[in-house]
Structure 1
Amino acid sequence: MLKDARGSDVTTDNPVAVAAIDRMVDHWLGYGQGATAIFEGIAADPRCVLAQTQGAVLNLFMESAAGRRAAQPYLAKARLHADKASRREQLYLFAVEAWAKGDADLAIRLHTEIAAQWPRDLGNVKLAQYHQFNRGDAAGMLALIEAVMAQNRDDPHAHGMRAFALEECHRLRDAEIAGRFAVELRRREPWAHHAVAHVMETEGRIDEGIDWLEAHAETWDDCNSFMLTHNWWHLALFHLDRDDTAHVLGLYDQRIWGVWKEYSQDQVNAVATLWRLEMRGVDVGARWHDVAHHIAGRESDHVEPFLDLHYLYALARAGLETQAARFLASLEDHAAQARRHCRRAWGDVALPLARGILDHARGRFEAAAEAIGPLLPRLAQIGGSHAQRDLFVQTFIDSGLRARRGTALSPLLADRARRRPTVAQHFRDLGRLARIEGAMARAADADHRAEALARSYAA
């Protein structure tokens, strides 16, 4: 038996297998491109339970039906030797098996048990946070990383993980401090760059956000496609807040879309960018067609509700009505058969939200507003970050304004302008709402505020 880089036992006598496990975990935590090294470890010792389990993990991260199928042989081989593995390795195998079966709650419980006994195993904590994030459990993300911080004070990954959890729990000042400290420990810490960007986006600190991300962008070149495209996506959000839609289109074409078009998260970043641009009145040309082409085969995936909503919208905006109808029908079947612990997320939130965004994509704005509005308080259940889920809030606002249904919008728009008073679009929306309500003086005030902000961007 050997030990990994974090001091945990690994049931193997082959140092190549341990080195491959270490390399995968390092690249998983740091969003590098070398996680496939785990397959070298599997080849070096096919009986190593942890290596086989990590091979399954890498396939499950494809977030697709094909990835779930590809994970099964690794889990089966790990099971063959599980009786000889350590307790940590057995619990980890059981957790990944639960994930493969769609039981994220069980996976989280098992990962939490591992964290309590082996707090230096940050790869385990990161995987638990992945599931908690997809379940909308920001408090759980924070509690888990807080519980192991004493043993990981010197690790920038731990501080980056804590920063993002703090941000998702609305503790913005603490999140920024934690994220900046992670970057002080190691400048190339893209998850911490990302967490601080979330804080700045939430507070409307547009120029600071651009400067922060651009100052660290050269450290992303060796990141995996998700982290690379996602951090550039965050930069695009700041430029969108600055009304610089031409810059956003340039980032889309050069940085956000095209790294790994087959990957779920790259597809989501692309869809979310085009969706936001169109709601700002930008003609995105034929860009929907390329994205939808790579999404069209995902009809039966249904891995996470958040992903499905982006896939469906892309199909509809590309004009692939037959595929969009099939996808919705498949989603309806999946929601009806979902496991008890996630049935509400799929059936009570994702499915009616899917119908609402499909109405928006097809220009049925009154129906879209009616469907989406009641779901806004429950969006966390479908996963995604606050910044990502704001897309659905924006879709509700866009639908309501286009349908001239202002009743439910007034407090929402006022709150958005109060929280991010540097963003001209919020005041434009308030102006549109005031005109719907016939309050012309209020409309003029909002329009003047928006125009003054727009001029400041150009200065």
Structure 2
Amino acid sequence: MTLCDDYGNSISTNSADARDHYDRGVQLFLGADFGAGAAFAAAVAADPDFALGHAALARALMMEGRMPEAKAAITRAETLVASANDREQTHVAAFAALFQGNPKGARSTVRALVRDHPRDAMAAQLCTNVFGLIGFSGEVGREAELLAYTEALIPHYEGDWWMMSMHALSLCETGQIAASRALMDRSLALNPRNANAAHFRAHEQYEAGDIAAGREYLSDWITDYDSRSVLYGHISWHMALWALHDGDEAAMWQAVNNGVKPGSSSSLPINVLTDTAAILYRAEIAGMTVDPQSWQDLSAYAARFFPETGQSFADMHAALCHAMAGDGERLAYIADTAKGYAGDLVRPVAKGWGDIARQNWSGALEHLSEVMATTERLGGSRAQRDLIELAYVNVLMKLGHEEEARRTLKLRRPVLSISTPVLNMH
């Protein structure tokens, strides 16, 4: 008898226990909840020859930052999948390409796979979200592409809380706030503990400027969320951001110190680095005092986890840390060598951070102006890329161009023109 997973895909295992553990792991993984890795480990313990179980375990271990174990798991999956069906072989090939540092190959493999097998959720998720293979493509129009991707998939996932949340984010990032909110409400009604949906609701509330509602919702939701989960640190960042926008400095630092900064978060290094750097600098331009040691510590963290360039979103934030910490050598290295999907944008941004640290505001304006037309290529959400928007506006303020600064926000980020966390712009 051929077994199928919860999404109706046939799977090459004869063990019902392996199938059940796998399904449990998929649900935990898609909900960004803690325990997916243990569930997938139980699946391959029940059937050591279950190729998709090993591939899923690799992905879960990757999201836990356990890369040597993850690479061993994907290698095992590749070894076992030769006798499986075409879908499973393509599924494993997509994950293998990801682990081989071939995101374009992984992306094209996933796109081909979901045309024939749209309900292969573990493969499909590789291209969802702003941190997925489309989100980090470095291409102009990637927000529209992400929307088209989830829009094509959602008819195949009727009543599915996970895909609802993914499509809701795509709607949010293309400015369709009301539609995003309605779909997110449906997702959360089906699974209130879906951390992806809770996270994306924060984005929807951010884009709508709902500060009070955002603070209240996340403060309540995170209470029952395991701090070891992959999104705990990033949701804490959203809480810190809400507090910053609300002028609640004490709550902001509490969120930073208890869930965002290095040592307080179980998130992946890219999230720890980018979230901490963003909140520290946004606090500075809002007029709050940031301990210089915080920049020193974060610069050392960036040097440890991202010593070479290639992940443009991380590189942009690493450059900010090095600039603010006064590490000119590391900053210059990024400015000179930045490569990856948006390396051509990272280089002027890095130089702009250096100018900002030296208070060379005219130089900063020149360098940041080079990237403002295509900041989406750097990756991340609109909320995350507001770091660049607000830095640019702050530079204009420093140069005395107050009216231009206000016009810029109204044109580019109207939601921030109402309550702007930039000193002297209230």
* TM-score of the two chains, using structure 2 as the length reference: 0.87
Aligned twin of 1:379: 375
Equivalent position to 1:352, from 344, 348, 353: 348
| CA deviation vs aligned residue, 1:270-289 (integer Å, no higher than 9, x gap) | 22111111112222213223
Question: Are the counterparts in 1 of residues 234 and 267 from structure 2 also a CA contact under 8 Å?
Answer: no
| CA deviation vs aligned residue, 1:245-278 (integer Å, no higher than 9, x gap) | 2321122112323022763212322221111111
1:229 deviates by 1.8
Is 1:260 the counterpart of 2:266? The answer is yes
Q: Residues 127 and 294 from structure 1, CA distance in 2 versus in 1: closer, same or farther, beyond 3 angstroms? A: same
- Supply the AA of the counterpart residue of 1:93: V
Aligned-partner Cα distance in 2 for 1:234–1:32: 17
Aligned twin of 2:238: 234
Moved more, 260-269 or 227-236: 260-269
| CA deviation vs aligned residue, 1:90-127 (integer Å, no higher than 9, x gap) | 11122122223333233222222322333333222221
1:391 deviates by 0.3
The answer for unaligned runs of 5 or more in structure 1 is: 430-449, 451-459
Q: After TM superposition, list the pairs within 5 Å mapping 1:151-300 onto structure 2.
A: 151-219=156-224, 221-222=225-226, 224-257=228-261, 258-260=264-266, 263-285=269-291, 286-300=293-307
Secondary structure of 1:352 counterpart: helix
| CA deviation vs aligned residue, 1:389-426 (integer Å, no higher than 9, x gap) | 01011111222322445686353034368544541547
- Fraction of identical pairs, as percent: 24
Aligned-partner Cα distance in 1 for 2:306–2:221: 37
Equivalent position to 1:415, from 406, 411, 414: 411
1:215 deviates by 3.6
Q: After TM superposition, list the pairs within 5 Å mapping 1:5-404 onto structure 2.
A: 5-37=6-38, 38-61=40-63, 67=67, 71-129=70-128, 130-135=132-137, 137-219=142-224, 221-222=225-226, 224-257=228-261, 258-260=264-266, 263-285=269-291, 286-302=293-309, 304-329=311-336, 332=337, 335=339, 338=340, 342=341, 345-346=342-343, 348-404=344-400
Q: Residues 320 and 43 from structure 1, CA distance in 2 versus in 1: closer, same or farther, beyond 3 angstroms? A: farther
The answer for unaligned runs of 5 or more in structure 2 is: none
* Greater per-residue helix proportion: 1
Aligned-partner Cα distance in 2 for 1:361–1:101: 37
- Alignment coverage as a number of residue pairs: 415
1:384 deviates by 0.2
Secondary structure of 1:131 counterpart: coil
* TM-score of the two chains, using structure 1 as the length reference: 0.81
Q: Residues 420 and 403 from structure 1, CA distance in 2 versus in 1: closer, same or farther, beyond 3 angstroms? A: closer
- Supply the AA of the counterpart residue of 2:198: H
Q: Residues 57 and 279 from structure 1, CA distance in 2 versus in 1: closer, same or farther, beyond 3 angstroms? A: same
Aligned-partner Cα distance in 2 for 1:328–1:413: 27
Aligned-partner Cα distance in 2 for 1:303–1:182: 35
- Supply the AA of the counterpart residue of 1:292: S
Q: Residues 410 and 218 from structure 1, CA distance in 2 versus in 1: closer, same or farther, beyond 3 angstroms? A: closer
Q: Please give the root-mean-square deviation of Cα atoms over the aligned residues, in Å.
A: 2.7
